Amino acid sequence: MEYLDIAIKLIISLSVLNVWLLRAKKPTQWRGGEAGSLQDEFKAYGLSPEMMRLVGVIKIILSLILLFSIFYPQAENIGAIGMAIMMVGAIGMHIKINDPIKRSLPAFIFLTLSLILIFL
């Protein structure tokens, strides 16, 4: 079970860090609306650049907490609960702009994995 816990933390944290640090300016099939970057995606959601930066900082910190919790398990709930909340928000934004369900799939997967961490 410990290996599953570590794998889930790595999947969530490295994926989120990849999106926010390496692929922020690149288009993907998962972006909301017709966005080609995170900045365009937040515009599609009707959110400000400041909100985009705040969300980014929060997601990066939560990802780092999840990585940290591999070695210090007492931090796990902070990272997992925080990430679950952020993923509910992400799903809500996709719903707000009537995105196809497919675009919410990564957020739904990370929400599910975060809930597994919380309840296991």
52-68 per-position pLDDT tens digit: 999 999 999 999 999 99
Residues 6+ apart with CB under 8 A from 1: 120
Q: What local confidence, expressed as pLDDT, does residue 120 receive?
A: 87
Name residues of the chain where pLDDT drops below 50: none
Q: What local confidence, expressed as pLDDT, does residue 84 receive?
A: 98
Q: What local confidence, expressed as pLDDT, does residue 105 receive?
A: 97
Q: What local confidence, expressed as pLDDT, does residue 1 receive?
A: 78
d(CA 42, CA 49): 7
Q: What is the pTM of this model?
A: 0.95
Angle in degrees, 0-180, between the axes of helices 76-96 and 2-17, rounded to the nearest 10? 50
